[in-house]
Amino acid sequence: MIKILIVDDSALMRKLLRGIFEEEGDFVIETARNGKEAIEKNLSFQPDVITLDINMPEMDGITALAHIMTTRPVPVVMVSSLTTEGALATFEALNLGAVDYIAKPGGTISLNIEQIKGELVAKVRSAARAKLRTKTLVRKLREEREKILKPSPPKEVSPKEVSADERLVLIGVSTGGPRTLEEILPELPKDFPMPVIVAQHMPPTFTKSFAERLNSICELNVVEVDRPMPVEPGTIYIGKGGTDVVLARRAKKLIVQPKPENPSFLWHPSVEILGRSALEHCDPQKIIAVMLTGMGYDGADAFTEIKKRGGKTIAESEESAVVFGMPRELIERGGATVVLPAEKIAKQLIKWAKENNVSRGEKC
């Protein structure tokens, strides 16, 4: 049985969510009306997982989350509105230790709750099994406090030096990804010579805010791929939610662009589609592909093919992955050149970039 604490100030939402998990038959359910009650019931009820609303009276979800993660850490799925403000609050929550998030349905809640039912149950079950990275949590909380007390200076943007050999890094990531990317990408120096293209499973209204957040903490420039763009060193490209992100050629120049979601694939932006487009338009020997935390198997086949054809790949290790599904699938297919915890991935990317030994081919 999975013990779940549902936290929401709406009596209707608490009732509907309770009904969803009662239908599953293997949940023990408790509810709370605000953040203050959530903190108390986290200690008394001791749930295996919490669903936590963001906007609540008396104590909001972000404040409650910070208390939960410092008193009795537990996997938390944030329930967020699909707005710019909701996105920013969600990323703050993920940075504080939340495992995942679900979009709260708009309009008539009782009618639209069915739209998120399957996804919600799947995310809660996955969260209940997720690994909390408690060793880095205290450090993250301390860093957040330091940022508030001492804001970082504006980032200096240096002119790009365009590389002729078009080496590139691909990153595939899902559940637990935003916090993991915030650990890895800021470690890449401003002279990192390879562009980085990220397929992070995320809804449409979230990716712009996420790219802006990353841009504020990374030395490299970070942009959302909302139109065709030239692929250049010194830039991290975040696939736009609600689309698939692909590589293509325009006048023989490598570009990255969004395209409509392919219904044949389960997750979007699709890591598999990104990987296949790279295989089609680039020399695989010049690709480094990184598979991070997430449910499912998205990208495992394409990244395995990249390795078979001479590229390098990294799978995040089980010890650091919030959800080990996607990296495990890559490893089991024999598609991982190395398996590393998240905190060592940036150093490996820098090492390979400095070695400059990703073979030079004819296509790129």
List active site positions.
174, 201, 298
Q: CB under 8 Å to 148, separation ≥6 — which residues? A: none
First-last CA distance in the chain: 53
Task: Label residue 144 left, alpha or beta by phi (over 0 means left) and psi (-120 to 50 means alpha).
Answer: alpha
DSSP output for 61-82: HHHHHHHHHHHS---EEEEE-S
Angstrom distance (rounded) from CA 286 to CA 352: 11
SS3 of 256, please?
A: strand
DSSP output for 222-288: EEEESS-EE--TTEEEEEPTTEEEEEEEETTEEEEEEEE--TTSSSSS-HHHHHHHHHHHS-GGGEE
Angstrom distance (rounded) from CA 87 to CA 314: 29
